[in-house]
Each structure stands twice: as structure tokens, then as C-alpha cells.
Amino acid sequence: MNSNTEDVSEIVLQLRAIRAAVETAARMPAELIGRDELAALMDLGVSTLDRMKAARQIGPAELRLGGAVKWHFREVLMWLSHPTPAGELYDAKAWTPIWAELQKRNAKN
């Protein structure tokens, strides 16, 4: 395949992943989500999510509630929809100031 065909194929795969995430998100009305829901939004297995979490590759801050790990659903959606210029997801360290800025902008509006 030529590079244009490969580029289009990659875009199609990304669009499918986004559509799956949006469809999953539409079924999750709760303010907080758990690991299973976050893994489903990211189209990952829970063990892969756990490895990413251990490596601090998950941008949104986690909350611990009685032994369970949860994330704010709105922050997760914003994180997934605001990748780096290279198309990667921000890690925890890089995401924190970006999230703070997004919240500031939303507070002004």
C-alpha cells in the first residue's frame, strides 16, 4: 500500500475508536466511572489500563473511594478529546496543567 492509503486506513481506525468511545460514553450517565468503564472508553483491556495507570500514563486524576479507583467522567472525555499535537494522550504530569486551563476557560464562559 502507498502512504496515502495507509494514512486513510489509520484515520478510519481512529474514527472507529472515537465512535466506539462516544457510544460507550452515551451509556454512562454517572459522574464517576471505574476501571472497566475507562478501559471500555479507551478500547483497552483492564490489565492494559492497569499497566498504563501504574506507569502514570493516564492523564486524569484518579479518586480512591473505599478501595475502588474512579475517575471524573467529564475530565476523561476532555482528556480523550484533547490529544497532543502528535496524536498521543497526555500523561498525568502533562495533563494536570492542561485540565486546569480548560476548567478556567469553561468558568469564564
Each residue's pLDDT tens digit, 20-56: 766 665 555 568 999 999 999 999 999 999 999 999 9
CA dihedral 64, 67, 73, 78 (to 10 degrees): 50
In sequence order, which ranges of the chain are alpha helices (DSSP H)?
3-26, 35-42, 46-54, 73-81, 92-108
Q: Which amino acid type is present at position 32?
A: L
pLDDT at 12: 81
pLDDT in the model for residue 93: 96
Nearest to 34 by CA among 16, 46, 26, 23: 46
Q: Is the pLDDT assigned to residue 3 strictly greater than 90?
A: no
Q: How confident is the model at residue 16 (pLDDT cuts 50, 70, 90)?
A: confident
Chain position carrying cell 495507509: 6
Answer yes or no: are the C-beta atoms of 58 and 44 closer than 8 Å.
no
Over pLDDT 70: what percentage of the chain?
Answer: 87
Task: Give me the chain's average pLDDT, please.
Answer: 87
d(CA 103, CA 109): 10
